[in-house]
Amino acid sequence: MCKRSCAFGKVCPLLHREAAAKTFGSAEEGTVAGLKSIARAGVLVAALGLMGGALHADNEPITIGLIIPLSPPGDPTAGQLIRRGAELAIEYYNEKGGVAAGHKLKLSVQDSQGRPEGGVAAYRRLVSEEHAIGVTGFFHSSVNLAANEVAKGMGVPTIGTQTSAAEITSKKYDVAFRTHVIDPVRVSAWLDFITQKGFKRVSLLAETSDYGVGLVDETVKQNQEKNVGLELQPMTFDRSSTDLTPLLLQVKAFKPQLLINIGVGQPMDLMIEQAATLGITPQTAMLISYDAPVRPQFWQLHPKNGAGLYFIAYYSPRQRLSDLGTWFAKAYEDKYKESPVYSSLNGFGDVAILAQAVDHAKSSNPKSIIAALEGGRFTSWAAADVTFPRAEGVYWHNWSPPVLILHYTDANQDWKGAVVVVEYAGTAAK
């Protein structure tokens, strides 16, 4: 066994001197044992060769790819938050001496602009030019879905950081993994909320993306399957629309008790303002479909109309963190002088999972990393271990954090003080 703090232990492919000395140095072992050891080492070297150059050269860093939206029409704020987390994960592992017996990690960041074609180009670049061993950071479902189609052929695994469309995992691609809340869980959470509030008429205004359309379809489906009996008004709009007034006028005529805002980035912000102008909110409650209101910019954008909103969140400061998560929260606060939000936590967690997968796999070969991801238990920011079982349907290769629905009761309220209205435990697998 390699005596160094080497992740590879018995099968250390780097043949550290101490291990070699023990193998060959003892007179008691005799010539036969020595020959056996040489043969064993030879087999190991041959096996590693067959794995297709599974290990990076000694000092070569291992690259992890990050595909995030850094410019509109994507959600650049989300991209920046995910990037912060991912960079701290790289710092964490490099300060510890790297992974896979001392290989440093390198992050290669690509801007998808929230466009599927941008995501595909970025994935190709990361795999063919940067030789990334895994790609994560995905925020827009459509980008993740498009990249997965290419990944299926190129073989380097992807981990969806904040993408929830069902098809990302329900297609059961070997390369596709996710650590985010999926459509059925998110919809179950807001149906719980609707039932709790006694709402009967609900409008859903969704952007025409995989995310928006997927959530509308899932809500209609669960409303029927669970016999919730809601009168739904589902509508979709083009993501590039700047004027949602015509749609909101229809919402106003429908007189719902709840309007679910399923826009991402700018459309979500426009809907908040334009619904308030038309007098829909605050009389009608509005639920934002993701955790954008926890971001520091939220109250700058909505100083008057942010109060009273409900929103989905995936992390509460009351939640117990893993040791790794605790390290991250402190490092993040030290560096950015604010508390981390979910996007950063999960960006950190996903890079940490890929780093651990390299250690588990004892290889940087994508197939070995996929096998490690499927079979291993990983530590992320949450207290519970992360696993990616080959489960049924959308739960394939998926781990979900819990879903919370928070409520801003006052203007300029700190998100950490927002009222928790619903806590819904996301399931990893069924």
Partner 1 sequence: MISTELIAQSLLAGIIIGVVYALMALGITFIYSIVKMINWAMGEFYMIGSYVQYFLIAQLLGPDLWFIAAPLAAFSVFLFGYFLEPLLIKPMFTAGIERKDDYATVVTIALLLMLRSLATVLSGPYQRNPGSNLPTVMLGPLPESGARLAAAVCGLAVMALFYVLLKTTWLGLAMRAAAQSRFGVQTAGVDIFRMDRIAFGIGVALAGLAGALLAPVFLVYPTNGIVTTTKGFEIIVIGGLGSIPGALIAGLMLGIVESLGASFLAPAYQNAYGFILLLIVLLIRPSGLFGERVRQA
Please report whether residue 5 would count as binding partner 1 according to CB under 8 A: no
Work out whether 278 is an interface residue with partner 1 (CB under 8 A): yes
- Rounded to a whole number of angstroms, the minimum distance from the CB of residue 10 to partner 1 is 48
Contact call for residues 396 and 374 (beta carbons, < 8 A):
no
Minimum distance between the CB of residue 344 and partner 1, rounded to whole angstroms?
A: 15
Q: Which of residues 153-212 bind partner 1 (CB under 8 A)?
A: 208
Q: How many CB atoms lie within 10 A of CB 23?
A: 17
How many residues in total does the chain contain? 430
Among 123, 237, 378, 381, binds partner 1 (CB under 8 A): 237
Q: Tell the smallest beta-carbon distance from residue 83 to partner 1 (Å).
A: 11
Interacting residue with partner 1 among 246, 282, 317, 417 (CB under 8 A): 246
Q: Where are any strands of DSSP class E within 267-373?
A: 285-288, 310-313
177 or 298: CB nearest partner 1: 298
The DSSP secondary-structure symbol of 99 reads: B
Reading across the β-sheet that carries 134-138, which strands appear in turn? 105-111, 62-68, 134-138, 158-160, 176-178
Q: What's the closest the beta carbon of residue 291 comes to partner 1, in angstroms?
A: 16
Tell me the Cα Rg of the chain: 24
User: What are the φ/ψ torsions at residue 410 (nearest 5 degrees)?
Assistant: -135, 160
Given candidates 144, 158, 274, 365, which one binds partner 1 under the rule CB under 8 A? Answer: 274
**259, 244 Cβ separation under 8 angstroms:** no
Contacting residue, 241, 319, 339, 387, with partner 1 by CB under 8 A: 241
Q: How is residue 272 written in tokens?
A: 């908040």
Q: Which amino acid is at 246?
A: P
Q: How far is Cα 66 from Cα 89, in angstroms, rounded to an integer?
A: 12
CB of 273 to partner 1, least distance (A): 7
Whose CA is closest to 139, among 169, 157, 156, 119?
119
Among 87, 269, 350, 359, binds partner 1 (CB under 8 A): 269
Return the structure tokens found at 194. Answer: 């609707």
Which one among 242, 318, 320, 334 touches partner 1, defined by CB under 8 A?
Answer: 242
DSSP assignment of 358-409 equals: HHHHTS--HHHHHHHHHH--B--SBSSPB-----SGGGTTB----EEEEE--
245 in contact with partner 1 (CB under 8 A): yes
- Say how many residues touch partner 1, by CB under 8 A: 37
Q: Which residues pair with 420 in a beta bridge?
A: 406
Which range binds partner 1 by CB under 8 A, 55-63, 87-95, 139-147, 244-252?
244-252
Among 26, 128, 240, 326, contact with partner 1 (rule: CB under 8 A): 240
303 is a contact residue toward partner 1 (CB under 8 A): yes
Shortest distance (Å) from residue 370 CB to partner 1: 33
Q: How far is CA 234 from CA 135, 220, 251, 429, in A?
A: 34, 8, 10, 29
Q: Does 122 bind partner 1 (CB under 8 A)?
A: no
Spell out, one character per residue from 60 to 99, where the chain touches partner 1: x when CB under 8 A holds, - when not. Answer: ----------xxxx--xx-xx-------------------
Contact between 136 and 64 under an 8 Å Cβ cutoff? The reply is yes
CB closer to partner 1, 180 vs 295? 295
Residue 121 lies near partner 1 (rule: CB under 8 A): no
CB of 238 to partner 1, least distance (A): 5
| Residue 279 within binding range of partner 1, rule CB under 8 A | yes
Which residue do the tokens 């993994």 mark? 177
Of residues 128 and 250, the one with the C-beta less far from partner 1: 250
Binding site for partner 1 (CB under 8 A): 70-73, 76-77, 79-80, 208, 235-238, 240-243, 245-247, 249-250, 253, 265-266, 269-270, 273-274, 277-279, 297, 300-303
